Structure 1
């Protein structure tokens, strides 16, 4: 009988931007190795019907190894009105579901497949304690672009004497490491539209500027060059997903680690 492995995902409640890449990663992983099954633990937020619609569409899709479990609501959930910022409210909302997550993981452990890992995003790190308590390996899944990951990794290295207030309305930019692939402009995959607006300013990109940029993408020698470079990047990206490609090898390495857990 073929061994079965289970991976579990927890995504920030109410965030479609975090949930979609999480589910796509789970789909990619389970399609890569059919021994793997994925379960996404859902912390419900009734004010986000778009999340419910997305999950239902995923549940109705055929030939999938992904399951969704809605966690029961907590007895005394926090109210967003009690917090000045989003992060404090979301952190407490997630932490209040530790017992439900532990119960769901315990039930999966008792099933016929082995729980190989728990994946959490950056707002669900309080669940690492639950994974450690149950002896499950835990991984941080970063759903944001790699440029933001570079910023997050660089942020702790800033000198302790530099306070955030020093950067407010500062004329000097802060150098932040970014991914080595370069920006769309550097790669020649697009045309530039000015992004020099400031918060509270009405000086936005005009329809005329937008139309001019679109025409540059559609007409003339510049458009031909952009399409050529875009096709080259498309082929390189596709090759990364093929056997012996960099992305394929990275995913295979992760799967091998999950199996060893």
Structure 2
């Protein structure tokens, strides 16, 4: 029986291009495997990144029809109604559900799992509906993933105390120690979303959902980030399992 994976990238050319390249790599690992990439258009209704999407799927290797894409239809979002990317993507669940339901065929094709973008974490709910596993393709690097997960743990353990320490107007803490980094990191250099009381709860909730994934494929290799990846290989983070883009033949095991 054939095996089907569903990839759901974020609607940005940087995310889409790397996702498609990863899908090309994975589909070659098993001739029974097929991958469908669900394309979510930009909120404005235009093509992703203004590019010809079909050109991204052009390949010199013989994939046949085992790598394909489906573009869902979404309503235009006016500037006044513009929402954060994660919320916009979450609102497309009905259209994505319809697209995935047309892929599954109990007689010839088994849906094996969803591989979702770091900004499409809400699609885990759909994977649960279809009774399959959720994986994530993390288009950033292992160090940033380690920072995100460690901050989430620190906040959950220290709660209001930690919130005070990282407040934009608070200079009591200059540096933080992250296991994924080789030296202390200046608090003032943290991305603004981690220092904002408006956005921080949203990103912490995302990090908690990361831990529910079956596995995370990180856009890196061991030679590039040996220290950051050692954090995960040493079982300091038990779940989920972390894979580099060179380990794509292992992540479905």
- TM-score with structure 2 setting the length: 0.63
Name 2:59's counterpart in structure 1. Answer: 61
Name 2:10's counterpart in structure 1. Answer: 12
**For the Cα contact (< 8 Å) 1:43–1:70, is it kept in 2?**
yes
Of the three residues 33, 36, 39, the one matched with 2:33 is 36
Name 1:73's counterpart in structure 2. Answer: 74
1:11-160 aligned at under 5 Å gives the runs 11-13=9-11, 15-45=12-42, 46=44, 49=47, 51-53=49-51, 55-62=53-60, 63-64=62-63, 65-74=66-75, 77-82=76-81, 88-110=83-105, 112-158=108-154, 159-160=158-159
User: How far 1:54 moved relative to its partner?
Assistant: 5.2
Name 1:223's counterpart in structure 2. Answer: none
Q: Quick one: distance in 2 between partners of 1:173 and 1:49?
A: 42
**For the Cα contact (< 8 Å) 1:78–1:93, is it kept in 2?**
no
Name 1:251's counterpart in structure 2. Answer: 248
* SS at 1:119 equivalent: strand
Structure number having the greater strand percentage: 2
Residues 69 and 49 (structure 1), Cα distance of their counterparts in 2 relative to 1, 3 Å cut: closer
Name 2:230's counterpart in structure 1. Answer: none
**For the Cα contact (< 8 Å) 1:78–1:92, is it kept in 2?**
no
How many equivalent residue pairs?
190
* SS at 1:252 equivalent: coil
Q: Quick one: distance in 2 between partners of 1:67 and 1:156?
A: 36
- TM-score with structure 1 setting the length: 0.61
Q: Which ranges of structure 1 fall in alignment gaps of 5 or more residues?
A: 184-195, 200-232, 237-245, 257-261
**For the Cα contact (< 8 Å) 2:35–2:67, is it kept in 1?**
yes
* Higher Cα radius of gyration: 1
**For the Cα contact (< 8 Å) 1:10–1:121, is it kept in 2?**
yes
User: How far 1:177 moved relative to its partner?
Assistant: 2.6
